[in-house]
Amino acid sequence: AQKITQTQPGMFVQEKEAVTLDCTYDTSDQSYGLFWYKQPSSGEMIFLIYQGSYDEQNATEGRYSLNFQKARKSANLVISASQLGDSAMYFCAMRPISNFGNEKLTFGTGTRLTIIP
């Protein structure tokens, strides 16, 4: 079984500042993937960034980076130079890596990020 914990229900950040959203996980799988999704008020889940458990380097995608600490089982999302459009719910998720099985995602409860002008 897999579990994702997001301990920050909400965060307020000044525009242009960097923000870190926390995520810890638990799994018995040897190989797994960690994801961050953004969900604006419209409801659609937007994929942001992916980190494989076997990746030695932290993933980066534009202003998004994933601070992966395998020993601590944490996968924090860092958003640099925050913008007003970053205001949304953010979900951390994980799934097993398998070519043959159901790779269903397990999500955390999310963090609501509000960017203040």
Partner 1 sequence: DTGVSQDPRHKITKRGQNVTFRCDPISEHNRLYWYRQTLGQGPEFLTYFQNEAQLEKSRLLSDRFSAERPKGSFSTLEIQRTEQGDSAMYLCASSLPTSLSEQYFGPGTRLTVT
Residues in contact with 10: Cβ distance below 8 Å, sequence separation at least 6, in sequence order: 111, 112, 113, 114
Binding flag, residue 11, partner 1 (CB under 8 A): no
Does residue 77 contact residue 23 with C-beta atoms inside 8 Å?
yes
> Quick check: 99 binds partner 1 (CB under 8 A)?
yes
Can you read off the two tokens belonging to residue 43? 């409801």
Q: Does 68 bind partner 1 (CB under 8 A)?
A: no
21 with 6: CB under 8 angstroms? Answer: yes
Binding mask 16-35 for partner 1 (x = CB under 8 A): -----------------x-x
**Residue 109 engages partner 1 in binding (rule: CB under 8 A):** yes
Q: Which residues in this chain contact partner 1 in the complex, by CB under 8 A?
A: 4, 33, 35, 37, 42-47, 50, 52, 91, 93, 97-99, 102-110
